[in-house]
Amino acid sequence: MNIKRAIYTGSFDPVTNGHVDIIRRARDVFGSLTVLVIPNAAKHPLFTLEERRALLEEALRGENGVEVAVADGGLLTDYMQSHGYSVIVRGLRGTQDLEHELTNAYYNQAFLPEVETVFLPARTEWTYVSSSAVREAFLYGADVSRWVPAGVMRALAGKGRR
């Protein structure tokens, strides 16, 4: 039996309860999972890469079979090849994510033909939760505690509001 090593990537700025749900479910499918925090030049993050790693580690404390890592830039497929991963896990909140994620899957497979992308649908309660919406709502004074782990709420409070 060929065991496939799986990776779940994102900017996680901040990590949401929807992310945590996908992480747990993917870990249960693959037996273990690496969560890779990646920089995104198109976004203006609220948290540094290291802060995001720490928030994920706190949110996932006690979860066996989950490792958190930070990418140093470059192509995801280069990282995967150099670290022995062959599966990318992506969460889908609905059709709003599908086209973007399919495009990424095609490019990843073009750069690393043996890579497979596995999509997990978001559970109903997390379908409309996104990091950017959480960030914006928080900055304008909304209570976002139902959408993020407790450690993220503490970290957001330390960032202040507009």
Residue ranges of alpha helices (H) inside 31-92 are 49-59, 76-83
| Cα 20 to the center of its chain, rounded Å | 8
Q: Is 159 a catalytic residue?
A: no
**Residue tagged active-site, from 11, 27, 53, 131:** 131
**Residue tagged active-site, from 24, 25, 93, 123:** 93
Would you state the structure tokens that stand for residue 81, as one six-digit string? Answer: 């090849």
**Residue tagged active-site, from 19, 52, 53, 90:** 19
Query: 12: left (phi > 0), else alpha (psi -120 to 50), else beta?
Result: left
**Residue tagged active-site, from 4, 32, 43, 159:** 43
Residue ranges of alpha helices (H) inside 64-149 are 76-83, 95-111, 131-139
Per DSSP, 48 falls in state -
Q: Tokens 């996908």, residue?
A: 22
Would you state the structure tokens that stand for residue 55, as one six-digit string? Answer: 């928030």
Q: Is 135 a catalytic residue?
A: no
Q: Is 43 a catalytic residue?
A: yes
Q: Is 19 a catalytic residue?
A: yes
Consecutive H or E run containing 29: helix 17-30
* Catalytic annotation, residues: 19, 43, 93, 131
